[in-house]
Structure 1
């Protein structure tokens, strides 16, 4: 068995200022978003759509707000509403952890919709661009959970080589944040990155992300101590699994819809019509060209 290293959640402390590892993991997530986004710019089908570095920087600003606000409100509403109603000021203590991915996803989707209106881009193109940039950021967040010794796993056999003694627990458990970082994060990134390297029908990449994450999260939830469980049709499922089911269903339907579009309706921008093409060009205009 392994023993949780139980590191100090505070990475740097200067006087009254404390910088937590959990917050640093979010900085890692945002940094990899920019780095991977710039790699995406070099892909031919992405370059053809006219994406720029400025677009990535602008989306990051909107996305940070969506992640923080949506993730925290998701934690409040989906998981701990009675507690936060009794301790409303704790809603703002995000450095202590407690961010819902499903809430963060909703927040990012809303933020990207607002950005797409500002940038005059098709919202599906925005979702397709950012989808492969999300999983490694998610993995960084789960490492933050592990450092904060949050989200302990279910009871594990002592014979399991990587079973872990968690802080505050006497029995071995599955290190579920590591499972989720590897499966929901790293594995999902590899699949999605390979899938998105070629031009796909509009919304296919975004739909693939939603579907695969829902499936991965439903699986890894079996190893995580549930926030709460419900019984439905004789089956017991956790809160995380309940929130993942709509993602699996909705993402699958969107994926089918994306590939059902006519072959000519691909991930391309509508070309701007050159109204001057039908008009004769004067000598003066030719000289300016």
Structure 2
């Protein structure tokens, strides 16, 4: 069994202001996204200015927050928020959904492309590649916070997380950091280097993330207030299954379209 490192979630304080590792991970993710979007835009010939990239990231941030919160409300705890609607805006109390955030970003990108005249799928190809870095960093932030731990395990790398009981558990946050961050970025980066058809990286992101998340949910502790749906699958798996299907169909369609004379 490995020892959980017990890293203080707060890096330092300046008066009442606390700078946290989780927030730093988000900041680094957005900075990395800005640099990668600028580079890939030149490489894949997406006509954007630095101001337009900044606007795109700003709208995506809004999409992540609004979509992630609404997704959590609708997918994970609709009964509670129906009875306590004023709590919907209390994002500082936690409760964000990746799948809802993804839908929010899609809406933001559609709006941005409509006003800038850029191609939607090419923009999506670039954006999902840049976002994979932030996904990996975000999971590291979850690990530092000691949240979203895995199920109990007897494997030698199991860890006892604070607040999760005395039994060792899978460090599922690190599994996700590797698969959804490092591995996913490597796959998408390789597709760009090979000049994959427009749309292929975007739909490959959906398929790969959906597969990775579906597999990791097998060792990730399900939400306590939901448990396993029908005693079999988690909410994360239920929401990831359509991503896999749409991703596979989308890759096939974009590849076939590119092969046509």
TM-score greater than 0.5 by the shorter chain: yes
Partner of 2:220: 224
Give the structure-1-normalised TM-score: 0.82
What pairs up with 1:116-127 in 2 under 5 angstroms? 116-127=113-124
Counterpart selection for 2:195 from 194, 199, 203: 199
Partner of 1:263: 259
Secondary structure, aligned partner of 1:261? helix
Partner of 2:15: 15
Q: CA RMSD in A?
A: 2.1
Rg larger in 1 or in 2? Answer: 1
More strand by share: 1
1:78 and 1:254 map into 2 onto residues whose CA distance is 24
Partner of 2:141: 144
1:199-253 residue CA offsets vs partner (Å, 9 max, x unmatched): 232211111111111111111111100122123xxx8111111001000001111
1:91 CA displacement: 3.8
Partner of 1:182: 178
Change (3 A) 1:218 1:146: same
Gaps of at least 5 residues in structure 1 are 266-289
Change (3 A) 1:82 1:19: farther
1:152 CA displacement: 1.4
Count of equivalent residues: 257
**2:157 aligned with 1:162:** yes
Give the structure-2-normalised TM-score: 0.90
Contact 2:197 2:258 in 1 (8 A): no
2:148 and 2:105 map into 1 onto residues whose CA distance is 23
Contact 1:183 1:220 in 2 (8 A): no
Secondary structure, aligned partner of 1:237? coil
1:14-58 residue CA offsets vs partner (Å, 9 max, x unmatched): 333333322222111111101212332442xx13x4344333212
1:133 and 1:262 map into 2 onto residues whose CA distance is 24
Partner of 1:252: 248
Contact 1:22 1:97 in 2 (8 A): no
Gaps of at least 5 residues in structure 2 are none
